[in-house]
Structure 1
Amino acid sequence: YLSVIPVVVVGLIIGFIGAVMGIGGGFILIPIMIYLLRVPTSTVIGTSMVLTLVTMVIATMLHAVTNHLVDAVLALILMVGGVTGAQFGARAGQKIRGEHLRLLLGLLILAVGIRFAVELGIRPDELFTVRETGGAG
């Protein structure tokens, strides 16, 4: 049982950090829910999936209405793949203990951190790139 106040505070923090840094909310949300709020791992996984679904639907609608930059065919293919992959992931998640899921999450976060650290040290081929945007003119 959780008080609503820490959950709202965590949501605000995740929303702010996600918007500023461009990191998916689930990447930050899952460790916070597991280690700070002490929510069971299986509940965290389902909650994160619902949050991701709602966020993706709203973001897709806003991009479609505001920028007209949504590729419907690509979105449909990704949705089919995501739903199919989620079925396999849900079955695998039921067979794996919570401790092992947390270990896999930790390894994933470590791998992403190492990749970012390596990319910080690599000098790009071109420091500045100019490209046409295809606008009228």
Structure 2
Amino acid sequence: MAKSSLLPAILAAFALGSLSFVGYQPAARTADNRVAMRGAAVEWDPKLSRDVVEVMFTAPAQGARARMLVRSDADVMEVLKDGRKKLGFDQEWMPDTDFKLYNAEDEDAGPMKGKMKDNGLIDFSFEIHMYYEPQ
């Protein structure tokens, strides 16, 4: 019987103890935050200013991805060969011409051709999609 009368007392003590953690906390002063952040937000202009850029090479249909370092003056076919090898799609019986590379931001523009710098390559966040499109 002593145990049953002790349980409500323990629960009441626990409830009172937890109330001490709950309380009013004033919000941080927004004026101080604005002063600290003034000038920190700079508009990013996507451009190419580097000779070598890190890109994400993706085969969306397979879910395979790899990061690659690409020269801005590299030919698209050179990047395709390197990307196929990194993802394990470099079987000899599948010619490179059966694969097409697209700028992930603008696939509607069609397959990439020529030099990488002529296909919308930028310094950061550039992704290439590779699709198998046999002739």
TM-score, length-scaled by structure 1: 0.24
Say which one has the larger Rg.
2
TM-score of the two chains, using structure 2 as the length reference = 0.24
Q: Name the structure where strand makes up a greater proportion of residues.
A: 2
If each structure's helix is expressed as a fraction of its own residues, which one has the higher value?
1
Higher relative contact order (CA 8 A, sep 6+): 2
